[in-house]
Amino acid sequence: MAAVLPIHYPRSLLRAFNVLPIEVWGPPQIDAGLGAAHLQAYVCSIVRNALAFLLSGGLEVTDLIVVPHACDSLQGLGSILIDFIQPRQDVLPLYLPRGNGERHIGYLIDELRAMYERLSKTTQRAPGDDELMASIQREETADEFLAELHQQRGKLTTYDFYRLIRAREYLPAEGFIELAQDILKQQGASRTAGIPIVFSGIVPEPMSLLQSITEAGGEVVADDLACCGRRLYPPGTSKDPFRRMAERLLGVPPDPTLGSPISARLEHLLGMVKKGEAKGVVFYSVKFCEPELFDLPMLRDGLQEAGVPSLTIEVDLSDPLSHQARTRIEAFLEMIA
């Protein structure tokens, strides 16, 4: 089993080595003191809590730790783990390119091959191209179901919907496919009960936030969350497993941690607003998240110019949902209703 830090990583490569990835988005609401002792005060709570969780033994069941370099904070965490803390588990960094051209794909292919070698050394296995392709196809099927769930949110409440799709963070692809099939069979007409909003940010934690949105009369009709909508990996086309994995990883919707231009992000958000007939956008950011904070002013200006109201809320994953955040969401929904 591998503990995997956010955001993008090759699930199919890990599974080809019989390694089950379990994602670590924080976790929220833990005592972060152990992590804080090793990090600057301005490092985000995703990284700080993950380090605290590791140091308190929370990742003892895992055999590997994968640290994709999504941002400076995660890159720093990778270095701290490798050079100073040196946990029992092997630490595998993954350097992701910032862009989606041919040279970025070539670079990522080399990174994935290097990861293959590391995994091979750790697990004493060497899956061939056929095994890699079978693993890729299984993940592609799971991602097709994930995309379908995003399209047909059906009868589920916002909270239940995000609990369901976030199962992709820990269930093996085959388990997720079964779950998605069951839910899709039961799905009826879409809910149109609440005030439709688009949700952007990193991770919807604490999840009670989503219940608060419903209680306040809102409904998330589409998202641009790093843990959800920004990871709708398209099916691949290449017959080469490494190229196919790289193309899929870089074929996602615009993401600041992959170097997407702000204009592409704005266009994507406006597209979601239009399609979901949303009345506003909520940016739900983790405090000190630089990739999000850099884009935010221009995204909000662009939305305003297009007549789309937006709200920004910042959270620390160790804190419970504050009354202030709830009140601001309620006031925003009242304003756009």
Nearer to ligand SF4, 139 or 255 (CB): 255
Nearer to ligand SF4, 77 or 333 (CB): 77
Q: Which of 70, 136, 183, 258 binds ligand SF4 (CB under 6 A)?
A: 70
Using CB under 6 A as the binding rule, whether residue 96 contacts ligand SF4 is answered as no
Handedness of CA 108, 112, 115, 121 (dihedral sign): negative
Using CB under 6 A as the binding rule, whether residue 47 contacts ligand SF4 is answered as yes
Q: Which of 30, 44, 91, 197 binds ligand SF4 (CB under 6 A)?
A: 44
Contacts of 176 (CB under 8 A, 6+ apart): 142, 145, 146, 167, 168
Using CB under 6 A as the binding rule, whether residue 74 contacts ligand SF4 is answered as yes
Q: Per CB under 6 A, which of residues 272..311 are in contact with ligand SF4? A: 286, 289-292
Angular region, 126: left φ>0, alpha ψ -120 to 50, beta rest:
beta
Total of residues contacting ligand SF4 (CB under 6 A): 15
CB of 280 to ligand SF4, least distance (A): 23
Using CB under 6 A as the binding rule, whether residue 313 contacts ligand SF4 is answered as no
Nearer to ligand SF4, 280 or 291 (CB): 291
* Binding segment (CB under 6 A) for ligand SF4, from list 8-16, 65-73, 121-129, 175-183: 65-73
User: What distance in Å separates the CA atoms of residue 288 and residue 44, rounded to the nearest whole number?
Assistant: 5
H or E stretch including 115? helix 102-123
Using CB under 6 A as the binding rule, whether residue 32 contacts ligand SF4 is answered as no
H or E stretch including 258? none
Using CA atoms in the order 177, 178, 181, 187, what is the torsion angle rounded to 10 degrees? Answer: -120
* Binding segment (CB under 6 A) for ligand SF4, from list 40-48, 54-62, 164-172, 307-315: 40-48
Helix (H, G, I), strand (E, B) or coil at 208: helix
Q: Which of 49, 158, 212, 257 binds ligand SF4 (CB under 6 A)?
A: 257
Q: Which of 19, 64, 67, 71 binds ligand SF4 (CB under 6 A)?
A: 71
Contact predicate 1/224, CB 8 Å: no
Nearer to ligand SF4, 134 or 293 (CB): 293
Count of CB atoms situated within 10 Å of the CB of 64: 21
- Provide the 8-state DSSP code for 6: S
Using CB under 6 A as the binding rule, whether residue 6 contacts ligand SF4 is answered as yes
Q: Per CB under 6 A, which of residues 190..249 are in contact with ligand SF4? A: 202
CB of 117 to ligand SF4, least distance (A): 26
CA distances from 310 to 120, 295, 335 (A): 47, 14, 11
Contact predicate 319/204, CB 8 Å: no
User: What distance in Å separates the CA atoms of residue 88 and residue 97, rounded to the nearest whole number?
Assistant: 28
Contact predicate 105/42, CB 8 Å: no
Nearer to ligand SF4, 24 or 142 (CB): 24
* Binding segment (CB under 6 A) for ligand SF4, from list 67-75, 114-122, 133-141, 321-329: 67-75
Nearer to ligand SF4, 32 or 202 (CB): 202
User: What distance in Å separates the CA atoms of residue 64 and residue 67, rounded to the nearest whole number?
Assistant: 10
> Where on the chain is the footprint of ligand SF4 (CB under 6 A)?
6, 44, 46-47, 70-71, 73-74, 202, 257, 286, 289-292
